[in-house]
Amino acid sequence: MELEGVVAVVTGAASGIGRALARALALDAGAVVVAADIDADGAEATVAGIAAEAPEGATPGLAAGIDVSDEAAVVALIERVEQSLGPIELWCGNAGISRMGGVERPNEEWNQVWDVNLMAHVIACRHLVPRWVERGSGHLLVTASAAGLLTGLGTASYAVTKHAAVALAEWIAITHGDDGVRVSCLCPQGVRTPMTESDALLGVAQVEALGMIEPEEVAAETLEALREDRFLILPHPEVATYEQRRAGDRQRWLRGMQRMQRDLLDS
């Protein structure tokens, strides 16, 4: 994918991977970026930071405060962007949330995680994919997680919804690949973001034990993958090995994960 000049929407752009991705797309690739986040002030700050560093004459982007699980708000954003900046060629569904605990957590909490981590992608695709099919091109980036290929300790709803996000990305790629719709699925492991700042959570201890990287490293790898039209983006390449081991001997992999959980709980 040629990124220079494309109109790109990045959700969850107020912090972490989303902010780094918005900055990299605008400042390194020359895209016209729309930074969207439920934290409207944070989205504005991301755009202001980009504008301060952008070369003179660069097309300014937009900031939008949006709940990505609100379908009417997503449709309104798509219409606003396409009317003011032009056709959306890249949608980076990066917004995500995590809640600790397992099946004992209330339905309300499960539904909240489900709506943000999966249904937000469904909603965006519902309204973008038909436009992309009609135009013959468009690119969807789904930020999932290594938890979507493997699992996440201590957080059932996050692991389950990230698996669902990976499955949706695969389905869109298969179903609409011949229509010109390209899909990439970003599955980082441990990234230093607000989500991983707590030192009291089992899932955070897991990714810290496996190695943390900076969001800017994730953004750089993502840009390279988008240019190559690569489906699976693994900023931690070892995740591919873990996934192969999981598929090759599921029983052994489960025992290994149980052992990791015991070790982390005992430490």
Q: Band of the pLDDT at 207, cuts 50, 70, 90?
A: low
Which numeric CATH code is attached to 7-238? 3.40.50.720
Q: Which residues contact 70 (CB under 8 A, 6 or more apart)?
A: none
What is the distance between the alpha carbons of residues 23 and 68, in angstroms, rounded to a whole number? 20
What is the distance between the alpha carbons of residues 189 and 208, in angstroms, rounded to a whole number? 9
Question: Residue written as tokens 């290994």?
Answer: 256
DSSP state of 154: T
Question: What is the value of pTM for the model shown?
Answer: 0.93
pLDDT confidence of residue 237: 94
What is the distance between the alpha carbons of residues 137 and 176, in angstroms, rounded to a whole number? 10
Is the model's pLDDT at 49 over the cut of 80? yes
Question: Residue written as tokens 């489906």?
Answer: 231
Is the model's pLDDT at 147 over the cut of 90? yes
Is the alpha carbon torsion for 159, 164, 165, 171 positive or negative? positive
pLDDT digits (tens, 9 = 90+) for 7-22: 999 999 999 999 999 9
Instruction: Give me the mean pLDDT over the 147-164 stretch.
Output: 94
Q: Which residues contact 14 (CB under 8 A, 6 or more apart)?
A: 35, 37, 38, 39, 41, 42, 43, 45, 46
Q: Which residues contact 135 (CB under 8 A, 6 or more apart)?
A: 87, 180
What is the distance between the alpha carbons of residues 94 and 16, in angstroms, rounded to a whole number? 10
What is the distance between the alpha carbons of residues 119 and 142, in angstroms, rounded to a whole number? 12
pLDDT digits (tens, 9 = 90+) for 156-202: 999 999 999 999 999 999 999 999 999 999 999 888 877 656 544 65
Quote the mean pLDDT of the chain.
Answer: 93
What is the distance between the alpha carbons of residues 235 and 109, in angstroms, rounded to a whole number? 29
Is the model's pLDDT at 89 over the cut of 60? yes
Q: Residue 209: exposed, middle, or buried by beta-carbon count in 10 A (0-12, 13-18, 19+)?
A: middle
Rounded to whole angstroms, what are the CA distances from 162 to 118, 148, 153, 159, 200?
7, 4, 13, 5, 22
Question: Residue written as tokens 């499955």?
Answer: 167
Q: Which residues are known to be catalytic?
A: 158
Instruction: Give me the mean pLDDT over the 223-252 stretch.
Output: 97
